[in-house]
């Protein structure tokens, strides 16, 4: 009798305690497949912790502006923010994020891919946990490659890409040899031309933070890109970004597409892609200088310093970026749908190794080094970006100049001269 009473009392106390500590956390996130999928599994988190979750889903650029406003003013509108590799080290350095230390042993923080962990840390402290990571790689049509009498190497060069692109181009049947980003925007065409430049030995700044667009490496990279796209790219490529190229590739109008590894799941999905069973993968091309043109990116979860619910937020991050979450998604929706590019153990899993693009994604991520992005030494961290606050503004303007050159509104030389001038002005104004 006494035992039963004690048990009842203990249960009641536990219930009261869990209710008392139950919080509602607000999470700002982007609208992409993996994030939307996570929203569907929130009940699992609530069942385990008692905390409930409110989602604010926004388009990437809107989200970036929204969370930047909130974190710089310590508004406290969000308890968790979805941010990328560009923001994390800068915001961590400014003290705007709660350090992710003291994570539980079960979480196994050492299992996070080293490239991701480094990119999301400042001075060795992790400030955001990667939900999924990506690099870039070549996706190509195996049937068109065969028809062209060529074989895609695992690690192609830009010269091979050009040769294959010209051979695969069939203007009468609206097949373009290669589809690449030309759209203005630092995260769109700006990211692509930066990594292309890396493989040609170009860099944004020298060790003294002097702009380098007047150097021959940039002229070589940009001229190569423009010539390649004029010969084998789709018409109007200057306005094509990820979605436009995805649409072209899914409709069978691209021989090759070099873009984010996350695109692999889209182009191999038979519900959306007309070429789902004819897609092969290869590493992003190089130019024989020892650097490949692939980037590194992660969408990660971070806790803003202004939140009052840091403990509940940390619990959510542990749940969402854990091995258990990956297993939960795999059990419900299959291994091809788990968030990729974040954990080492995922790539050691024999089931995941059967996914056609798994190994190539890991190889691409491992081939990216944010601390040594290009051939010559640089004073900055970042592959397709430079992790300084001024970069987003400068790179947006530079990419606009480049897009104008792609559209034939100015020459490559004019675009580079303008890029050099505006970058120099902005960096001087910023005190570099």
Partner 1 sequence: MARAVTSQRKTINTVIAWGVGLLIFFPILWTILTSFKTEAQAINDPPLFLFFDWTLENYSVVQERSDYMRFLWNSVIIAGGSTILGTIIAVPAAWSMAFVPSKRTKDILLWMLSTKMLPAVGVLYPIYLLFIQLGLLDTRIGLVIVLMLINLPIIVWMLYTYFKEIPGEILEAARMDGAGLRDEILYVLTPMAVPGIASTILLNLILAWNEAFWTLNLTAANAGPLTAFIASYSSPEGLFFAKLSAASTMAIAPILILGWFSQKQLVRGLTFGAVK
Q: Of 6, 9, 13, 74, which lies in the binding site for partner 1, with binding defined by CB under 8 A?
A: 74
Toward partner 1, which CB reaches closer, 57 or 223?
57
Residue in 26, 157, 396, 410 binding partner 1, rule: CB under 8 A: 26
Which of 257, 266, 335, 347 forms a contact with partner 1 (CB under 8 A)?
A: 266
Residue 22 interacts with partner 1 (CB under 8 A): yes or no: no
Q: Which of 22, 75, 371, 393 binds partner 1 (CB under 8 A)?
A: 75
Task: State in angstroms the smallest separation of the CB of 105 from partner 1.
Answer: 32
b/e per residue 375-403 (b: at least 16 CB within 10 A): beebebbbbbbbbbeebbebbebbbbbbb
- Residues from 186 through 205 that contact partner 1 (CB under 8 A): 187-188
List helix spans (H) across 50-156: 60-72, 87-93, 114-119, 142-147
For residue 82, give the 3-state DSSP assignment.
strand
Query: Which pair of tokens denotes residue 337?
Result: 């749908």
DSSP state of 340: P
Output the smallest distance, CB 206 to partner 1, in A: 32
# binding residues, partner 1 (CB under 8 A): 45
Backbone region of residue 382 per phi and psi (left: phi > 0; alpha: psi in -120 to 50; beta: other values)? left
Contact between 387 and 376 under an 8 Å Cβ cutoff? The reply is no
Instruction: Please spell the DSSP secondary structure of 178-201, one letter per residue.
Output: EE----SSTTTHHHHHHHHHHHTT
Distances from the Cα of 279 to the Cαs of 31, 234, 411, in angstroms? Answer: 25, 19, 35
d(CA 245, CA 36): 22
Scanning 28-36, 193-201, 318-326, 384-392 for contacts with partner 1 by CB under 8 A, the matching segment is: 28-36
Nearest CB to partner 1, comparing residues 107 and 299: 299
Binds partner 1 (CB under 8 A): choice among 41, 50, 57, 379 = 57
Among 31, 353, 359, 371, binds partner 1 (CB under 8 A): 31
| Phi and psi, residue 116, nearest 5° | -70, -45
For residues 40 and 30, give the distance between their C-alpha atoms in angstroms, rounded to a whole number: 14
Helical residues (DSSP H) of 233-381, grouped into ranges: 242-250, 263-267, 310-320, 323-333, 344-348, 350-353, 358-366
Q: How far apart are CA 391 and CA 121, in angstroms?
A: 19
d(CA 190, CA 70): 26
308 binds partner 1, rule: CB under 8 A:
no
Q: For residues 234-253, which are near partner 1 according to CB under 8 A?
A: 241-243, 246-247, 250-251, 253
Q: How far apart are the first and last CA of the chain?
A: 76
Q: Does 425 bind partner 1 (CB under 8 A)?
A: no
184 forms part of the interface with partner 1 (CB under 8 A): no
Pair 228, 258: CB distance under 8 Å: no
Q: Which two tokens stand for residue 432?
A: 């570099």
101: contact with partner 1 by CB under 8 A: no
Q: Which of 77, 166, 404, 417 binds partner 1 (CB under 8 A)?
A: 77
One of 7, 9, 12, 39 touching partner 1 (CB under 8 A): 39
Q: Tell me: does residue 173 bind partner 1 (CB under 8 A).
A: no
Only segment of 12-20, 29-37, 279-287, 423-431 that touches partner 1 (CB under 8 A): 29-37
Query: Which of 13, 62, 348, 430 touches partner 1 (CB under 8 A)?
Result: 62
Query: Does 324 engage in binding with partner 1 (CB under 8 A)?
Result: no
Among the listed residues 15, 22, 36, 430, the single contact to partner 1 using CB under 8 A: 36
Q: Contact between 276 and partner 1 (CB under 8 A)?
A: no
Torsion angle of C-alpha atoms 41, 353, 131, 363, degrees rounded to 10: -170
41, 44, 50, 58: which one contacts partner 1 (CB under 8 A)?
58
Q: How far is the CB of 270 from partner 1 (least distance, A)?
A: 10
Element counts in the chain: helices (H) and strands (E) = 19, 10
Identify which of residues 99 and 252 has a Cβ nearer to partner 1 in the complex: 252
Cα separation, 300 vs 126, in Å, equals 11
**Site for partner 1 (CB under 8 A): which residue of 228, 260, 284, 367?**
260
- Of 110 and 172, nearer to partner 1 (C-beta) is 172
- The binding site for partner 1 (CB under 8 A) comprises 26, 28, 30-33, 36, 39, 54-62, 65-66, 69-70, 72-78, 187-188, 241-243, 246-247, 250-251, 253, 260, 262-263, 266, 271-272, 274
């Amino acid at each position: 009798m006494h035992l039963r009473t004690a048990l009842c009392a203990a249960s009641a106390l536990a219930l009261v305690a869990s209710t008392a500590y139950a919080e509602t956390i607000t999470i700002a996130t982007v609208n992409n497949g993996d994030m939307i999928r996570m929203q569907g599994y929130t009940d699992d988190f609530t069942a385990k912790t008692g905390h409930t979750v409110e989602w604010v889903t926004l388009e990437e650029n809107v989200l970036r502006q929204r969370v930047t406003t909130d974190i710089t003013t310590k508004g406290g509108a969000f308890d968790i923010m979805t941010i990328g590799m560009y923001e994390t080290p800068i915001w961590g350095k400014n003290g705007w994020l709660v350090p992710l230390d003291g994570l539980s042993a079960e979480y196994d923080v050492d299992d996070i891919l080293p490239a991701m962990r480094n990119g999301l840390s400042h001075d060795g402290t992790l400030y955001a946990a990667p939900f999924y990571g990506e690099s870039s790689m070549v996706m190509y049509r195996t049937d068109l490659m065969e028809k062209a009498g060529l074989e895609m190497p695992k690690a192609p060069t830009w010269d091979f890409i050009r040769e294959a692109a010209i051979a695969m181009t069939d203007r009468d049947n609206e097949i373009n040899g290669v589809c690449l980003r030309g759209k203005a925007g630092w995260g769109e065409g700006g990211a692509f031309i930066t990594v292309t430049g890396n493989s040609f030995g170009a860099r944004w700044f020298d060790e003294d933070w002097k702009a380098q667009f007047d150097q021959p490496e940039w002229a070589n990279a940009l001229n190569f890109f423009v010539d390649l796209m004029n010969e084998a790219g789709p018409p109007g490529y200057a306005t094509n970004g990820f979605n436009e190229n995805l649409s072209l590739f899914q409709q069978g109008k691209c021989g090759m597409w070099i873009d984010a590894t996350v695109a692999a799941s889209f182009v191999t999905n038979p519900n959306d892609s007309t070429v789902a069973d004819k897609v092969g993968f290869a590493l992003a091309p190089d130019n024989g200088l020892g650097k490949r043109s692939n980037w590194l990116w992660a969408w990660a979860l971070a806790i803003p310093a202004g939140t009052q619910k840091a403990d509940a937020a940390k619990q959510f991050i542990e749940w969402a970026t854990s091995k258990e979450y990956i297993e939960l998604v795999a059990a419900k929706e299959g291994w091809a749908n788990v968030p990729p590019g974040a954990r080492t153990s995922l790539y050691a899993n024999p089931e995941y190794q059967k996914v056609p693009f798994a190994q190539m994604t890991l190889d691409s991520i491992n081939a990216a080094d944010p601390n040594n992005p290009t051939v010559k030494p640089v004073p900055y961290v970042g592959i397709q970006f430079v992790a300084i606050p001024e970069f987003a503004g400068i790179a947006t303007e530079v990419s606009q100049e480049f897009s104008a050159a792609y559209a034939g509104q100015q020459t490559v030389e004019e675009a580079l001269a303008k890029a050099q001038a505006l970058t120099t002005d902005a960096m001087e104004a910023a005190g570099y």
